[in-house]
Amino acid sequence: MNSIIEEASHASPAFKASMRAQWDTAAEGWNAHTADIHAWLQGPTEAMCRMAGVRSGARVLDVAAGAGDQTLVAAEQVGPQGHVLATDLSPAIVALARGNAQRAGFAHVEARVADGEDLGVAEASFDAAICRLGLMFLPDPLRGLREIRRALRPGGGLCTMVFSRPERNPCLTILMSTALRHAGLPARDPFVAGGLLSLGRPGHLDALFRSAGFDDVATTAIDAVFRLPSVDHYLAFVRDSASPILQILGGLNAAAAEAAWGEMRERLMAFTTSTGWEGPNELLLTAGRCPRETP
């Protein structure tokens, strides 16, 4: 059976409902792999916060915050005089982000369920905004960028992190193509809105930022090798948390799904090194600034 995501119009409520359900299911798994994700994305996350203008005392909006790993990085940087609002479509993952912030002792972090295309926050109420590996899941990313711009004060900064082109992210390409073939689904255009690699086409996100009204737009490509002890650690991460892949395989019976996982493992073995496993990834950090009010 084709998935709801496959069948739903991207503008339809069914797309969002399916996305929410997928991430509610994957929430515990994503949270359980926080240490690996943190180590993988530490450098790019610090760069994202710097490029957004996250600083001591700032009010920061985190869109599609997941279990809040980058929320806590921003919270550390703004300090107790600042404030970070973590928002996400999935109630289950928001609950985990809230618990993580509480355990870290960050009283200046709030976590709230909100669609990135309709944040429900006051206009011009944030100094900076970040969005790590989330914007590509929005069916209308331009609407999301306009909504973030509305939430930022004049002169406020946004930095987003997304995956770049398919050929620069070969593990994701292997996972996606293998899963689709085993599920009997046709190959997907990776640049269709709402998909994992949908914002990776060079120049596309810069154009969206400008259309949303951001100035000083610039994109930096960063290599982010995912280093793990073995291919099985990577597969465990994917099986626990990679909601787009889990969703494609969701319609298969157990034996057919295992055959797909087996072929993925075989192909991903290509990235085994003498010291472990190193999956290449390339990320795009795109930054822009809201125009300052003219005097």
Ligand X SMILES: C[S@@+](CC[C@H](N)C(=O)[O-])C[C@H]1O[C@@H](n2cnc3c(N)ncnc32)[C@H](O)[C@@H]1O
The footprint of ligand X (CB under 6 A) covers 19, 23, 37, 64-66, 69-70, 88-90, 93, 115-117, 132-134, 137-138
| Shortest distance in whole angstroms from residue 30 CB to ligand X | 6
Q: How far apart are CA 5 and CA 9, in angstroms?
A: 8
Determine the number of helices (DSSP H) and then strands (DSSP E) in the chain: 11, 9
Complex with ligand X: residue 117 or 127, whichever CB lies closer: 117
Q: How far apart are CA 65 and CA 69, in angstroms?
A: 8
| Shortest distance in whole angstroms from residue 274 CB to ligand X | 30
Complex with ligand X: residue 90 or 219, whichever CB lies closer: 90
| Shortest distance in whole angstroms from residue 155 CB to ligand X | 25
Classify residue 15 as left (phi > 0), alpha (psi -120 to 50) or beta. alpha
Complex with ligand X: residue 99 or 155, whichever CB lies closer: 99
| Shortest distance in whole angstroms from residue 256 CB to ligand X | 25
Instruction: Render the burial of 186-210: b for 16+ CB within 10 Å, e for the rest.
Output: eebebeebbbbbbbbeeebbbebbe
Complex with ligand X: residue 45 or 178, whichever CB lies closer: 45
Select the residue whose beta carbon is closest to ligand X and give its number: 66
| Shortest distance in whole angstroms from residue 254 CB to ligand X | 25
Q: How far apart are CA 27 and CA 106, in angstroms?
A: 21
- In Å, what is the CA distance from 63 to each residue of 70, 113, 141, 149? 10, 10, 12, 12
Complex with ligand X: residue 49 or 138, whichever CB lies closer: 138
| Shortest distance in whole angstroms from residue 123 CB to ligand X | 19
- In Å, what is the CA distance from 138 to each residue of 12, 89, 157, 220? 12, 10, 20, 21
Complex with ligand X: residue 181 or 239, whichever CB lies closer: 239
